[in-house]
Structure 1
Amino acid sequence: MINVGFYYRVKKGHEKEFEETFSKVLEYLKKNFPGFKDGKLYRSVSDPQEYLIYSEWENLEVFRQFVSSQAYRDTTSYGKTIIEGRPTHRVLQQVE
């Protein structure tokens, strides 16, 4: 299993929109990517414009399929309109 953390800074006034979009993307992933396990959205307690999306994937290949999909490209294109700067992500693999 792998875990991916996506870190975002959302433009002021778009926080609710970002949260609602996350919910829609989460449902899409659950229905369309069998290797996607779950995702959770976290908001910084010290800066309400900073978010972390924590996701769990069966393996790295499934995650790579997602990030090369049209759905991912569409989401990132849309995200550019409400995100400040460039988001970052980290991929971590579970140690067994």
Structure 2
Amino acid sequence: MLVRIVKMGFYKQNVQSFLLNFNDTKKQIRNFEGCKFLELYRDAHDPTVFFTYSYWENEEALERYRKSELFNTVWSKTKPLFSKPAKAWSVEKLETLE
């Protein structure tokens, strides 16, 4: 399983636009073939910084999403709202403790 973490910083005036867009597309992203989990986090100290945290079956599934029309639509609405470039990490989940 591949875990994708994306950190995004927005201009304060764009936060609501981002949240509305995320709300409109979150189910489509989560139901995209190969996506197993999706969460959105907000930084505890900076309300303009958000993280998406998603599980993908494998790197190929993530790449199919990144090349999809859905991603292009989401990203074309999200990217102009950034106050700084997004950062993304793909990591392998090794262990979960409950």
TM bucket by the smaller chain? 0.7 to 0.9
Moved over 4 A (4+): none
Q: 1:4: Cα distance to partner?
A: 0.4
TM-score norm. by structure 2 comes to 0.85
Corresponding position of 2:42 = 43
Is residue 61 of structure 1 aligned with residue 24 of structure 2? no
Determine what percentage of the aligned residue pairs are the same residue: 23
RMSD between aligned residues: 1.6
Output the CA distance in 2 between the equivalents of 1:80 and 1:30.
20
Q: Which runs of 5+ in 1 are unaligned?
A: none
Corresponding position of 2:90 = 91
Q: 1:34: Cα distance to partner?
A: 2.4
Moved more, 73-82 or 57-66: 73-82
Q: Which runs of 5+ in 2 are unaligned?
A: none
Q: Could you list the per-position Cα deviations for residues 59-96 of structure 1 after superposition, in whole angstroms to 9, with x for gaps in the alignment?
A: 11100100011221222121122111211100001238
Output the CA distance in 2 between the equivalents of 1:4 and 1:24.
20
Q: 1:53: Cα distance to partner?
A: 0.6
Corresponding position of 1:7 = 7
Question: Does the residue aligned with 2:4 lie in a helix, a strand or coil?
Answer: strand
The amino acid of 2:48's aligned partner reads Q
The amino acid of 1:53's aligned partner reads T
| Structure with more strand by fraction | 2
The amino acid of 1:93's aligned partner reads E
Output the CA distance in 2 between the equivalents of 1:18 and 1:36.
21
Moved more, 11-20 or 59-68: 11-20
Corresponding position of 1:17 = 17
CA contact (8 A) 2:30 2:38 kept: no
Question: Does the residue aligned with 1:80 lie in a helix, a strand or coil?
Answer: helix
